[in-house]
Amino acid sequence: MNRIKKINKIIGCLIIMILFVVIGNSNTFARTITLDLNKGTITSITDALSGKTVKDGVYIISCAKNSNYVLDINDNSLDWGGNLQIWDRNAGDANQRFYISYEGNGYYKIASLCSGLILDVENSGQDNGVNIRQWEDNGASAQRWKINKNADGTYNFIAQCSGKALDVNGGVFTDGTNVQQWDYINSDAQKFNLEETELLSENIVSIKKAANYKVGLDVPNNSSNDGTALNLWEVNNSLAQRFEIHRVAKDEVRIRTVSSGGWLTETGKENGSEVVQLGNSSTPVSDANTWKVEWNNGITFKNKESGLYLDINSNSNDSGAKIQVWEKNNDQEAQRFLVNREHLIKDGWYEISSPLGTTMDLDNSGSDWGTNIIMWEKNNKNNQRFRITYTDSGYLITTMYGLALDVEDGSMDNGANVRQWEDNGATCQRWWSEVADGGYIRLRNTNSGKYLDVADNSSALGANVQQYEGNSSTAQLWKLTEKTPVGWFSVNGSMYCTDPQTGKLVTNCTRVDPTMTDPAQFGSIYDFDSEGRATWHLPTFDDLPGGHGKTAPLPQLVGDQRQRTLLLALSRVGCDYELLQAPTGFVCDGLTAWCVTNATGIRFRTGTRDDDQDMSWQYPYIKNKNGIKTDLSQAKPGDIMFWGDPANIENHATYGSRHASIYYHDGQMIHAASTTLGVIIGNLDNDLIGFGSPYDAETSKCELPN
């Protein structure tokens, strides 16, 4: 045994001599070599003189004190300034993965895979507590970090600009704790683990252009046709912009489109060859549909067959630009992408159809708890519109009545019925989604693990919807088509309709004219056509019963206070210019007082006089209530406007050189103009003093559903 140990030591010494000769003649780097002389083996080789302690690659950076928490870019931000925090580790989101690359002189840069941006000490700050964020790579010392390895295998990150350490604020390890810089004390708050990982995980993702994340890869019109060529399109989070990553080998993937279930495949081995979706889940792995992933300030995809890179034609940012393959160009942004995990289905309203030729429906359009879910011919009615919303426990699918798709009694059995029921948060009311061939998806119940299924694979009208164990039948395939409900419908017990101008749901509807700069705050009138579709507009003469003028009946007071004021004012157009003759005659401040008082139910303050018309009281009332404005771009329908000599505005004894009116829209006002003209709609004058709101609420009655 002793002879063997001596031989091992001799061998070890010879190895040392050889390595010193080799390394000594190397001009690239120096190494520190650790040997076990008892065994005559090398136990480690690390970069020494270069200061390189970590090899280039992708890492999850976890807190050494509690490795459940990792460095995380807040809210998956893609913007400059996105904040660095710690968060509970997830299933491979790019905002928790970082590419560490050596920059020389002992320093590294650390890029977020989510955004391609670099960890940065805000404004190169020198103080304790300065925030760490992500920022465009500008080569500054605020973006360069020395990485020290501790004896216990943990790491510290020291900012070049300040010499301070990356630090978890207060050493508090919980979701959202901020990451800052602090004096290096090698505390638990400053110790991290480096966990090497891969560039891409097997997830549902979007693939956006790294230099402009507002555009990304898209299947035109969400086509399910085999061979459809991909293009670039404005990001809309539709199924056409969702892809499924499949791992082939280390840093080699296949990319499946949700639109068809086919694979991103190059069509030739020449620059400019198209990239198409081709095949299905049974298509074997080939070099043409396999892509090597690399990091270059973003992820690049190198086709294994041709060696050419996924590329945007002419480095375009325009929707419709061709996606192709092209030889590598390190300086061209056209080959760098951001790949981020996404929800397969974006929140919204959908028609859910089966390849059997029928569409998911509410039995007899029933609104009660327990109403059955059946299949029926497509009819474009609200009973075939379903709202899909992502939750942490799976997708919630609700009907037009705000009730959830529910597996009856939480059953685990094949054939258990699916109905609508009050959302109670139970797992039998939550569904996970999976990509299937042909542009279809499958929906799996969170509670039972069984799939949403058409009973007996039937194409008959009225076929029941149930749950069933997974199989390859068409009964478990579903096509989602975005379809907004029409007319009025219920959500969470309230009635809603769809605003055609914004696509949002609104209730108790009053919204402002679309020409206004802030249409979300103020109201107008809804109309419905024969098919129940809603349109809206500022109140006009057409909304008045019996027309307008001295003999016209007063309008029905509906909507918010502004809408009521406008309807009342419009109904008086054509009346005479007369004092104390409401509702058939008005002077200027008499019209404003009468309209606002009747619209709000609260007397528009006019002092102690019984005539309710004196702008010398109206101006300070508005000034004290909501303030006086002078910028006409901020004027809104129903505002009260004041004109004339500012010196006379609050002088109760002086009536000349002043005027009051009601703002209508587009530079027009409703006012009692003169003894000759009476009450008219006219253009604004030139001597505006100011305007403001006499109303109790500056928001309409419209509400967005939760």
> Tokens 């708890």 identify what position?
369
Nearest-5° Cα angle at 681, 680 to 687 = 100
Q: In terms of domains, do 34 and 63 share one?
A: no
Do 685 and 552 belong together in one domain? Answer: yes
Residues 272 and 221 in one domain: yes
Based on the fold, state whether residues 92 and 140 are members of the same structural domain: yes
What is the domain count for the chain?
6
The pTM score is: 0.69
Cα separations (Å) of 530 from 285, 401, 486, 487? 53, 22, 11, 10
Residue 77 lies in a domain: yes
3-state secondary structure of 391: strand
CATH number of the CATH domain containing 587: 3.90.1720.10
Residue 336 lies in a domain: no
Number of other CB atoms surrounding residue 100 within 10 Å: 21
Share of the chain above pLDDT 90, in %: 66
**Domain final position from 141, 174, 197:** 197
**Residue 89 CB: number of other CB atoms within 10 A?**
17
Based on the domain organization, do 74 and 141 belong to the same domain? Answer: yes
**Tokens for 546?**
């019996």
Both 551 and 688 in a single domain? yes
In a domain, 608, yes or no: yes
Indicate the range of 178-187, 295-304, 491-500, 623-632 predicted with least confidence.
Answer: 491-500
pLDDT band at 697 (very low <50, low <70, confident <90, very high): low
**Residue 701, domain member (yes or no):** no
Question: Does 338 reside within a domain?
Answer: no
Q: Is 698 left (phi over 0), alpha (psi -120 to 50) or beta?
A: alpha
Q: According to the model, what pLDDT value does residue 558 have? A: 65
pLDDT digits (tens, 9 = 90+) for 237-275: 999 999 999 999 999 999 999 999 999 999 999 999 999
> 157 is in which domain, residue-wise?
57-197
Q: Is 24 exposed, middle or buried (0-12, 13-18, 19+ CB in 10 A)?
A: exposed
Domain assignment present for residue 637? The answer is yes
Whole-number Å distance between alpha carbons of 292 and 307:
9
373 lies in some domain: yes
Asked if the structure places residue 417 within a domain, the reply is: yes
Residues 206 and 212: beta-carbon distance below 8 Å:
no
3-state SS of 511-550 is: CCCCCCCCCCCCCCEEEECCCCCEEEECCCHHHCCCCCCC
Max CA pair span of the chain: 126
Residue 111 sits in the same domain as residue 145: yes
Of 447, 481, 515, the position where a domain reaches its end is 481
469 and 528 part of one domain: no
Contact call for residues 374 and 464 (beta carbons, < 8 A): yes
In this structure, the number of other CB atoms found within 10 A of the CB of residue 41 comes to 13
Do you know the residue count of the chain?
706
- Please tell me whether residues 661 and 569 are part of one structural domain: yes
Of residues 112, 514, 134, the one with CA closest to residue 297: 112
**What pLDDT digit, counting tens, does each position of 48-94 carry?**
445 689 999 999 999 999 999 999 999 999 999 999 999 999 877 99
564 with 556: CB under 8 angstroms? no
pLDDT at 16 over 90: no
